[in-house]
Amino acid sequence: MQRFEINGEEHELKITLDSVKYLNSLYEGGAFMFIQKAISGDIDTFISIIYAGLFHTGKGFKRKDIEKVIEEGIANEKIDLDYINRTSYGVVAESFFYKKTVDKIFKNDPEAKKQIEQLMK
C-alpha cells in the first residue's frame, strides 16, 4: 500500500466509499476517465488521489494543504513524475476497488499493461 507524509506523519493511502465517490465525480467520464488520468500521471489527479486517500484518517486534511506539500516536494526534488506515477498506480490500479476494471481495460493489449506496470514499479 502506498503512503504519504503530511505534517510530519506518514499515512497509508486507502480507497474508501467516500474517496471513490469523490474520485469518480472528478471527470465527466466517471471512473473510466479517472483511471485513465491516474495511469497517465496527471498532476491534478495525483493531488486528488492523495487527498481522497487520506479521507480514512479522519484528520480533515484540506486539498490545498495536500497541494502545498506536493508543491514543496517538487521544489525540494522529493516528488517527481516517477513518484507520481508509482503512487497513483499503486493507489488506484492496484486497489481492490479499481483493479478488475484496470485489468479489463488492458485485457486486449497485455503488452501495453506489461509496459505500464514496468513504468509504475
Model pLDDT for residues 49-96, shown as the tens digit of each residue: 999 999 999 999 999 999 999 999 999 999 999 999 999 999 998 899
Three-state DSSP class for residue 12? strand
List Cα–Cα distances, 49 to 28, 46, 82, 111, in angstroms.
17, 5, 15, 26
DSSP character at residue 10? E
The pTM of this model reads 0.91
Number of other CB atoms surrounding residue 5 within 10 Å: 11
pLDDT grade for 33, boundaries at 50, 70 and 90: very high
**Can you tell me the distance from the alpha carbon of 93 to that of 40, in angstroms, rounded to the nearest whole number?**
12
**Amino acid identity, residue 24?**
N
